[in-house]
Structure 1
Amino acid sequence: MPAKDTSDAGEQPCRRCREASSVLVVRGEPLCRDCFVKYVHTKAIKRMETLRVRHSAPGQQRKVLLPLSFGVSSVVLLHVLDHHLKTQASKTGRTGFSIAALSVDDSMILKAPVSYLQLMARIQEQYPGHEYSSLPLHDVFRLLPADSSLFALTTDTNVSTDTPPEQRLAALLNSLPSATARADVISTLRTRLIVEHAKSLGCEGILWGDSTTKLAEKTLSETAKGRGFSLPWRTADGESPFGITFNYPLRDLLKKELVAFARLNEPPLSPLVLENSGASRQASMSSKDTTIDDLMKQYFESVEEKFPSIVANVVRTTSKLKANSIRETDLRCHLCSMPVSDGRFGIHGWGGDQQDGIAGAPVGDGENLCYGCTRSIPQSITAAKGRS
């Protein structure tokens, strides 16, 4: 039988406080509003043990970066962290860390009518006292070193070392062969931009707003795209290959629980959330614009409604994977910058010979692109690089 989860609870009493009436059922447990809010806060904060006040030296304020996508998860995480810092200050007179929030503006690239500046202004008004910034995606070329291998990933003859970052990004994205490749490269560049910005601010780590549902989506989509070897770094708390700590405080909470939290919070968080961000995209199986990420998002958001344990099991299973130790001599993928310790680059490194002779398949060894990135970068780029 499917497990009961977040839904209307009727007139049942709250199973925890035994006093108030429940407002929803969470994983088979009727909860009132206050107990549910406490449930969400507790789930998130217990994942942030290293950021407690006792681990922070007086006068040495640690800083963490919070990427804001204006989805329900990142907005809820900001709300929880803001409340947590106020609680720390009231109890001890100081806080264990400070927050730097970053919004990556990719509305022009995705051609979406989104007013990030308006949403950011609302958030700054509701949660003052934190450091806020917004960067366009093309700034990844400004923040990365000039000799970064990422700069070579375009065959546009008009692109040179003096080409503005926005034109360089446009040239790269215009050369990609499919919607999945485009979405994959944009996601990869967004991660690298966030990492570089965090380093430039001297941040100790990055707090990602990924829920259980999002991590399950990422597990299957990255595996399907040929980047399964990187899952221990992409989904687990701890040191990342980028030299900065990744942490996922919402990893024990389903997306629908976060949606319920945003609705029940006082005041509601919906004015701060990007419109329709909580709804599953109804992707057409025959649409050329449908991406692997779209399909995984649609699948897991439907599964979590009746079978939340399946979503949680995917994440728990993935958390058991052990990341390889990273050595300074390990080569890195030119696009995603993940270490490929044994030098197995490209199609022939991970995919065997099944792609030989297939029209449109990437050629050569991928020119220091991991298997997943080789699938996103078209043959024309790897071939051109091989001739240069």
Structure 2
Amino acid sequence: MSFGVSSVALLHLLDNQLQGQIDRMNRTGYGLLVVHVNTPSAAPTGMHMEKLEERYPRHTYLSVDLTEVFNCPSRILEGLGEPESISAPSGLGSQDSNQDKLDRLLESLPSATSRMDILNILRTRLLVENAKKRGCEGIIWGDSTTRLAEKILAETAKGRGFSLPWQLSDGISPHGVAFKYPLRDLLKKELVTYASLTTPPLNQFIVSEQAPQAFTSKNTTIDNLVTNYFESVEENFPSIVANVVRTSGKLSARQSFGDGKRCGICEMPIAEGTGGLHGWGGGQEKMDLSSSHLCSDEKLCYGCARSSLRVTTSVRTGP
């Protein structure tokens, strides 16, 4: 639950479906755990969560801080090599220590795009860990056609286009949990209209986030750029947005992950010989990534190697 129009509309639709099952059979086929992840850049959502619980009381609700990802068994810092600048003891309590680790991690990343990229990966991994911990059969994402189109261009530009089949398709994910995208055929503008037509309207639960318009700003990210692009395109040319998703949907994901190599950060499978900057970068990078202490070419996909570039090179101990 991000409190965007898509996730709120999805909760409303699923609640109506469950109510219909109760009316017909006096039981439901599944239960919902509604999870919100508090991130550093997000607006406060405590009041909105309380309103959701009042409106849809049949479900279980959970709000977790992003810093809790550092308490998970599959720790993200292991993928980042856990550099001393991030993992050094701060003398603070456990929660403060995790917050300190997150702050240090974000400060170590080379760009605003890298920070947003890692934050999104952290959020996904935290949601996966909570789903596994509570025995959930899968995660239902509220991604609309517009959001999926944004993800396609953003992930490709960041060097993670190979992972699109797993990020777009319904089915088991490399994380070991099923991913479902029930709103994949609806545009964001259609969901905005739907949210305003329900009784009562869903707008009271929605926290609007406007992407920055200053494209020249150093804080503008790839994600912001593609969000602005597709939100403008879908107004007059919705078929373009749908075609992007439809075309990418033809990509097929490998169904068997086996014991193959995984990226240490995003956990996506890495094909033999395609890891890190040198595997996908055509040998254009001249940096020394041979240190076994960190995420080397052998441990990361190309996209994560780019996002964590400063982390993985700033703490080399060799000459």
SS at structure 2 position matched to 1:87: helix
Q: Of 249, 254, 259, which residue of structure 2 is paired with 1:319?
A: 249
User: 1:345 and 2:275 equivalent?
Assistant: yes
Distance 1:153 1:308, change over 3 A: farther
Distance 1:172 1:326, change over 3 A: farther
> Match of 1:5?
none
User: 1:289 and 2:222 equivalent?
Assistant: no
Q: Counterparts of 1:375 and 1:128 in 2: how far apart (Å)? A: 43
* 1:217 and 1:293 in contact (8 A); partners too: yes
Q: By how many angstroms is 1:363 displaced?
A: 4.0
Alignment of 1:1-388 (within 5 A): 68-106=1-39, 109-110=40-41, 112=42, 114-145=43-74, 149-150=78-79, 152-156=81-85, 159=88, 164-274=97-207, 276-277=208-209, 280-356=210-286, 363-364=289-290, 365-366=296-297, 368-382=299-313, 384=315, 387=318
* 2:109 and 2:311 in contact (8 A); partners too: no
* 2:153 and 2:226 in contact (8 A); partners too: yes
SS at structure 1 position matched to 2:85: coil
* 1:156 and 1:171 in contact (8 A); partners too: yes
Q: Counterparts of 1:158 and 1:336 in 2: how far apart (Å)? A: 19
* 1:367 and 1:385 in contact (8 A); partners too: no
* 1:367 and 1:382 in contact (8 A); partners too: no
Q: Counterparts of 2:89 and 2:73 in 1: how far apart (Å)? A: 16
Q: Counterparts of 2:159 and 2:86 in 1: how far apart (Å)? A: 30
* 2:137 and 2:177 in contact (8 A); partners too: yes
SS at structure 2 position matched to 1:332: coil
Larger mean Cα displacement after TM superposition, 150-159 or 74-83: 150-159
**Residues 50-92 of structure 1, C-alpha deviation per residue, up to 9 Å, x if partnerless?**
xxxxxxxxxxxxxxxxxx0000000000000000000011111
SS at structure 2 position matched to 1:173: helix
Q: By how many angstroms is 1:155 displaced?
A: 4.0
Larger mean Cα displacement after TM superposition, 242-251 or 136-145: 136-145
Higher-RCO chain (CA-CA 8 Å, sequence separation at least 6): 2
* 1:188 and 1:336 in contact (8 A); partners too: yes
Q: Counterparts of 1:133 and 1:198 in 2: how far apart (Å)? A: 11
**Residues 309-348 of structure 1, C-alpha deviation per residue, up to 9 Å, x if partnerless?**
1100111111110112443321111111111131421111
Larger mean Cα displacement after TM superposition, 291-300 or 145-154: 145-154
Q: Counterparts of 1:198 and 1:175 in 2: how far apart (Å)? A: 29
**Residues 163-182 of structure 1, C-alpha deviation per residue, up to 9 Å, x if partnerless?**
73222212111111110010
**Residues 114-158 of structure 1, C-alpha deviation per residue, up to 9 Å, x if partnerless?**
221111001000000100000000101112346972363434066
Higher Cα Rg, which structure: 1
**Residues 284-331 of structure 1, C-alpha deviation per residue, up to 9 Å, x if partnerless?**
221001000000000000000011011001111111101124433211
Q: Counterparts of 1:184 and 1:147 in 2: how far apart (Å)? A: 13
* 2:109 and 2:310 in contact (8 A); partners too: no
Which sections of structure 2, spanning at least 5 residues, go unmatched? 291-295
Larger mean Cα displacement after TM superposition, 183-192 or 322-331: 322-331
Q: Counterparts of 1:343 and 1:333 in 2: how far apart (Å)? A: 13
SS at structure 2 position matched to 1:103: strand
Distance 1:384 1:212, change over 3 A: same
Opposite residue 227 of structure 2, the aligned amino acid is: K
Alignment RMSD: 2.2
Q: By how many angstroms is 1:362 displaced?
A: 7.6
Distance 1:377 1:151, change over 3 A: closer
Q: Counterparts of 1:71 and 1:290 in 2: how far apart (Å)? A: 20
* 1:345 and 1:371 in contact (8 A); partners too: yes
Distance 1:161 1:319, change over 3 A: farther
Which sections of structure 1, spanning at least 5 residues, go unmatched? 1-67
Q: By how many angstroms is 1:160 displaced?
A: 5.1
Q: Counterparts of 1:216 and 1:157 in 2: how far apart (Å)? A: 34
TM-score (norm 2): 0.91
> Match of 2:293?
none
Q: Counterparts of 2:189 and 2:300 in 1: how far apart (Å)? A: 36
* 2:212 and 2:220 in contact (8 A); partners too: no
Q: Counterparts of 1:102 and 1:362 in 2: how far apart (Å)? A: 41
Opposite residue 177 of structure 1, the aligned amino acid is: P
Number of equivalent positions:
310
State the identity as a percent: 48
* 2:80 and 2:308 in contact (8 A); partners too: no
